[in-house]
Chains A and B, each alone.
Chain A
Amino acid sequence: MIYEGKQKIWKDYQKEIPDDHWYYVRSCIRQNFFPASERKFTDITRNDLGKDVYETPYHTTCGGIAYHCDAIPQETAMTIVARQFALMTESGYENYVPSCVTSFGNYVEILETWREFPELETRIREQLWKACRREFNKPKYLAHTSDLIYHWRNEIAEKARYRLIDKETGEPVRMAEHIGCHYAKMFPSKGIGGAEYPYVLAGMIESWGGQVVDYPERRHCCGYGFRQYHMKANRGYCVSNTHKKFESMEPYGIQAILTNCPGCCYFMDRWQYVISEQTGKTYGKDGFGIPVFTYEELAGLVLGYDPWDLGLQLHQVAVEPFLDRIGVEYDPKAKYLGLNKEDLLKPELPTNLKCF
């Protein structure tokens, strides 16, 4: 592609991101599976970067997962979201940041549908009033939490204690990124870099010293599929799609994966364990897996947070080889300790996937 053409496409997918004053809503999946990432988002943005990121206890699920499992009607999902917007409005904010790709996709879809069909927005406003006696303004800016970490990536790099550089070889760490389907596949213009050249994660990896590695199935779905995971009978769908990605990645010497969506992060970690149990195969070096990180985990590591404060002990794929590679100092014996060093025993070890 000629350079100017590419520049033009890229320009279409830039997105204006205000530098401060965000109304923050949490993710169901992340609070369950990556509780420390959610905690660190507020710690990093408020304490390290000095930003105003506001949360009210009254917000709830956005309903996105139930909606994509077809368990609630579209108007229910829309009215739950309208209530979230009302809470933002009542709190005096206009920049809205959800902490989940499913949520982000849900918000974008709803706002776009209302733009196209204003009569539906009117109807949802009436339903919200009837159910909750609330009114709302639509957000002036909508960003995903990773958009904000991307926006502040250079400030994070300036404060960094570690870089994504192999301390033995001095080479950049070879990383894959996985964007998550609902970030930009439905409305490419709403994500940084669009669906074709998504840059939100690649930008973080590059500014923290790593190298982004391409592979053929880079844009393939992780295989979550909503009902395909939540129903035990369907989970073969999920593991098959993750398997396809890892097989495609294998020849490229990928040392870690950065993800955008909590589902993808969880599945790409856990299905490596399942594949190792089922077939004996592992994708990292020496019987280890390839560690998969959230963007807060990676930002936190770079900033010098303790890996166990970042919740890396909740990954099934051992993260220690990665920590050693970039030279993070940590106490291996503290991995599974509770608060005040309380002994909480240890998880059992998988059969084939090497762990500590």
Chain B
Amino acid sequence: MNHLFEELEKDYRFKEGYHSCINCGTCTAVCPAAEFYRYDPRKIVDIVQTRDDRQIEELLSSDTIWYCGECMSCLTRCPRKNGPGLVIMALRDLSIRTGLFTRSEKGRQMLPLTRTFSRNILEFGYCVYPETFDWNDHKESGPVWKWHMDHLEKSLERLGANYKGDGPGVLRRIPQESLDELKAIFDVTGATERISLVEKYSQQKAEEMGMSLEEYEKKAFEYSSDKHFNE
């Protein structure tokens, strides 16, 4: 791997979102993540602009870069047209490619995220899909959603959906030839390689932590230590 800063510079989100920062803190003032986490996007852009690989490596290994919600509120308000949210996307990408994501609790969430979304996209053609939305993991969706999931086919039929049906419509079955094309796109554009990379680094880390990969995934999905939060 080249120097980390040079790697960042190749990322188009970085090209778009990184210019000189005057450290004004406007991004932090409007940031929903800073509302909740010990998080300061101003500081992240400031660290990156030191071009100091040691500090960048620390960032890539930390929880900090995973706190952002990618809402891009910062981009609208920055007086220098920076997008800390875009810089974060480039940092996350690099953290995944270097395997440094497994060093932080929030970074380790890449395993459940990659597994869930690649399965939903490649098996069903959707990012979110009823069959993989387990109500027990989503109790915030309320008793009404439990009712809906309990009567899924009938409730969807009542609302005019075409669940698993042929032809167009809501929640239609995506034809196999379209799913095959998505798989080919994953293969050609690096998503398939990304999946193996996340699996490989997560497996190594799980062993280091003395856990099975399944235990590691479950913990990443649901456990939060309380070091992340604002007072």
Contacts and interface: CB of A to CB of B under 8 A. Distances in A.
Classify chain B's interface size. 35 or more
B190 A75 contact: yes
Contacts of A66: 117-118, 120-121, 127
B70 to A, nearest CB: 5
Given A57-B175, A127-B189, A344 B221 contact: no
B194 A72 contact: yes
A295 to B, nearest CB: 17
Interface in A84-108: 105
Contact of A223 (B32, B159, B177): B32
Contacts of B161: 31, 35, 39
| Contact residues of A: prevailing secondary structure | helix
A204 to B, nearest CB: 22
Nearest to A234: B224
A230 B189 contact: no
Contact of A237 (B36, B144, B186): B36
Given A65-B128, A73-B191, A185-B75, A241 B147 contact: no
Interface string B177-201: 1110110111111110010000000
Nearest to A78: B189
Nearest to B159: A36
A241 B174 contact: no
A72 B67 CA distance: 18
Contact of A131 (B66, B156, B179, B188): B188
Interface in A181-205: 181-182, 185-186, 188, 195
Nearest to A102: B127
Contacts of A185: 71-73, 75-76
B141 interface: yes
A130 B188 contact: yes
Contacts of A346: 147
A217 to B, nearest CB: 10
Nearest to B75: A186
Contact of B170 (A35, A80, A130, A235): A35
26 contacts: A35-B170, A39-B160, A39-B169, A55-B169, A57-B166, A58-B174, A60-B125, A70-B89, A73-B93, A74-B11, A74-B93, A80-B185, A127-B188, A186-B72, A186-B76, A195-B76, A226-B70, A231-B221, A232-B222, A237-B32, A240-B35, A244-B35, A314-B159, A344-B158, A347-B142, A348-B143
Query: Which 7 pairs across A and B sit closest by C-beta, in order of nearness?
Result: A225-B69, A347-B147, A66-B117, A131-B184, A39-B160, A65-B127, A316-B142
